[in-house]
Amino acid sequence: MALIGPTGRPLSGGAAKPASGPAPPGGVVKDASLETFAADVLDASRQVPVIVDFWAPWCGPCKQLGPLLEKVVNEAKGAVRLVKINIDENQEIARQLRVQSIPTVYAFRDGQPVDGFMGAIPESQLRAFVQQLTGGAAGQDQMEDVLAAADEAYASGDVGGAAQAYGQVLQDEPGHPRAVAGLARCYLKSGDIERARKTLGLVRPDAVADEAIRTVDAELKLREQAASAGDSAELRKRLEQDPNDHRARFDLALARDAKGDREGAIQELLEIVRRDRTWNDEAARKHLVTFFEAMGPTDPRTIAARRQLSSMLFS
């Protein structure tokens, strides 16, 4: 598609350049005119895809779409650029590109229009549009940033902020395992076991065995079992009377974990293994394995307990 410049000669980009590489100089969002169209769109699109937004100050839908477009493009961190063209000031460009209504959006790559749409669309569709245009690179980079921010918020105690960020990822990519696990973990933190269980069920089928999902699933099982724990004082009395009352010790481990004393719970289970490793079809060892899955392989508690367990099993 050739545009005719103000001198009557076709506007065209320079020699072809590789489609990959850093963004052209300048900001990723800018205004353009007929005089700058070749440089801002045709030439620039030989380095990274360029989205062209045709708008006007009097256009209501344009006021909705424009800020969302800028947000999504800015979050892509240079993987795509946005050029805004006011059709009131640049009627010739709109005429040559056959823009019949606004907002109209065209995407350019290698100096040619490759995609586009008309009208205001939701943010989720804009993200999908940008992801497709960039081969998924922009979306993945942005998604990783959101997930990292969500993890940081959770670690700092901002469970509400973390849940909101995980939910944002799930809107753009339903079933994403890390986001599903994170949101379920937020519900667990707030004590809502039922919603945590339902949230885990949202993971896409091919990611059921994802490590993040397994970790939260293990923690969920521990919380569900801990809910049936008995009274700690009564269980301790039973153990004082009979140190080999493995059921009392197992229930005490559940009770201690329910109160946040996981290290104490681990020691109770290790004591059962030391006294009778086969008790109740190796219930203590199996529960320890669930602890290890919930805490993760690099957790110091996992490492220490595995070492103690191994020395008991192989001594």
Q: Where are the alpha helices (DSSP H) in the chain?
A: 37, 60-75, 91-96, 123-133, 137-155, 159-172, 177-189, 193-200, 211-226, 232-241, 246-258, 262-276, 279-295, 300-313
Which residue in 32, 51, 59, 94 is the catalytic one?
59
Strands 81-86 and 50-55 come out as parallel
Helix (H) or strand (E) holding 245: none
Annotated catalytic, 59? Answer: yes
Torsions phi, psi for 144 (to 5 deg): -65, -40
Q: Residue 202 — φ and ψ, nearest 5°?
A: -85, -10
Kindly state the helix (H) or strand (E) to which residue 76 belongs, with its residue range.
Answer: none
Q: How crowded is residue 166: how many other Cβ atoms within 10 Å of its Cβ?
A: 27
Residue 62 appears among annotated catalytic residues: yes
Site of tokens 């986001």: 179
CB 158 within 8 A of CB 127: no
How far apart are the C-alpha atoms of 252 and 235, rounded to whole Å?
Answer: 6
Which one is catalytic: 41, 44, 50, 62?
A: 62
Cα(307)–Cα(57) distance, rounded to whole angstroms? 69
Residue count of the chain, please give it.
315
CA distance 82 to 282: 62
Instruction: Please identify which residue in the block is written with the tokens 């076991």.
Output: 193
| CB count in 10 Å sphere of residue 143 | 21
Catalytic residue ranges: 59, 62
